[in-house]
Structure 1
């Protein structure tokens, strides 16, 4: 009897120290995350999630959202800044999946059709400032994969040789985690690294010298009056923006996957994110990348 009581006490203690997430499986968490995504609300209870479960939740969440948002068209790389990695106690980025319906051209936004689960349709006009549960605007850049040789690239110059273009990109992310829960790399992974919307600029033809210019360019976010909201050098992303592609290719290889021609890769945030303001405008500028000015703007209502 005494041994049985001791065993029960030990088991109770162990259960008490287990993360609450252990009681909820991948499918259930993903279902909650998908419901929160559609309702534009936060998802709670992810603070104790582990990396394996988080990867499963992300995969299931993406599959759940595909009927609404279309097929995968590429990836986004997050946690590419040293300050954010140090804050979360990790030494590496994380990745999410971009779906076709997440991407817009300047002047186009999305409004859901009336029937639940219907594909989101484009409408001309500014983007609602409350497009997400916890909206964040980031100055980003898209790399367009040219050929599969990019998967063997070891340097930014080698990556550049296997790209077909670069595209200005303003990501409209959603940190859809409960505000009272400290984010972790795993919880951010679970919510698909906050992928929600993004505005794509016109392709930038790759020129000689781009490998060096990408590291030294200055990227900024300004508002409608020209006030600088955030700025950073290209090297703010992993020492060089194209290092994000190298990391992603290696991460995919570890999962038995690879980057494919035509896929888009969101490289990460240049500088801290900002919040949208109703009636405001945000412009991303890339100074020092090309001889001609490169910029992209998004209007909010």
Structure 2
């Protein structure tokens, strides 16, 4: 009787010293994350989560949220900026899943408190045209397999506890902060667009015209369509592939802004096409 008791005491002592994420299983963490998502509250105790558990948590969380938000319609790519990767000690992005009712058309205002820790980002959506994109090795090849690009303002949620240092794994676990987003009208794909995507200037401005963030297209992995290449390769390693019609959120151009009640944020894409390209969202 003493040996089993001793083993139980040792196990209890070890669990007591482990990070919260390591002491919980995938299902329990995902249930906490789903409850927090619905309550627009933070998820604590994820600082010690490992990449394998994080992937399981994300998959389980997405399945849970799909009951309310509809089926997956694509992916979002995060940690696409060099500065953020260096801050977190990684050399690669992470990906999350976009669900149907996460995306909206421009028009209706959005509550400023739409998330536990709201982040407004200038982004861009690539619409997959055909499965050949999975073999693309350059931005120009990616573009040949897209049906459209759409301006996109992501309304993300960094739902992690502010007193816990984020990691690539903890960000992945909460589905890379996917929550809401406003998608604009499709941008025509024409000759020279691949080059313009790298050299364009993307900015976020408030209602007074003040610049909140600004970055070149190359701020995303050297070229925004490199995010599609990375995602296709990452999915291939998991035995999956990009499918026609899927929407890919390519990442944030510059640092995020904070929503202000009664305020407006506009994303502008200067140099992307001959006609001005912009998209706005109003907060209430």
TM-score when normalising by structure 2: 0.95
Residues paired across the two proteins, number: 282
Kindly state the Cα deviation for residue 179 of structure 1 after the two structures are TM-superposed.
1.0
Task: Indicate which of 224, 234, 250 corresponds to 2:233.
Answer: 250
Residue matched to 2:28: 28
Structure 1 pair 288–95 and aligned structure 2 pair: CA distance change class (3 A): same
Distance 1:10 1:265 in 2: 47
Distance 1:279 1:18 in 2: 44
Residue matched to 2:199: 216
SS of 2:267's equivalent?
A: strand
Checking the alignment, whether the CA contact within 8 Å between 2:19 and 2:45 is kept in structure 1 is no
Kindly state the Cα deviation for residue 141 of structure 1 after the two structures are TM-superposed.
0.1
1:254-286 deviations in whole A, cap 9, x for unaligned?
Answer: 000000000000000000000000000000000
Runs of 4+ in 1 over 3 A off after TM superposition: 6-20
Residue matched to 1:164: 147
Structure 1 stretches of 5 or more lacking a match? 1-5, 108-124
Structure 2 stretches of 5 or more lacking a match? 1-5
Kindly state the Cα deviation for residue 20 of structure 1 after the two structures are TM-superposed.
3.2
Residue matched to 1:93: 93
Counterparts in 2 of 1:48-59, with a 5 A limit? 48-59=48-59
Residue matched to 2:165: 182
Kindly state the Cα deviation for residue 67 of structure 1 after the two structures are TM-superposed.
1.1
Structure 1 pair 8–64 and aligned structure 2 pair: CA distance change class (3 A): closer
Distance 2:245 2:238 in 1: 20
Distance 2:23 2:272 in 1: 50
1:279 aligned onto 2:266: no
TM-score when normalising by structure 1: 0.90
Distance 1:238 1:222 in 2: 23
Checking the alignment, whether the CA contact within 8 Å between 2:130 and 2:145 is kept in structure 1 is yes
1:269 aligned onto 2:252: yes
Distance 2:157 2:11 in 1: 39
SS of 1:54's equivalent?
A: helix
Structure 1 pair 9–30 and aligned structure 2 pair: CA distance change class (3 A): closer
Distance 1:8 1:174 in 2: 39
The alignment's C-alpha RMSD in Å is 1.9
Distance 2:35 2:12 in 1: 33
Structure 1 pair 281–50 and aligned structure 2 pair: CA distance change class (3 A): same
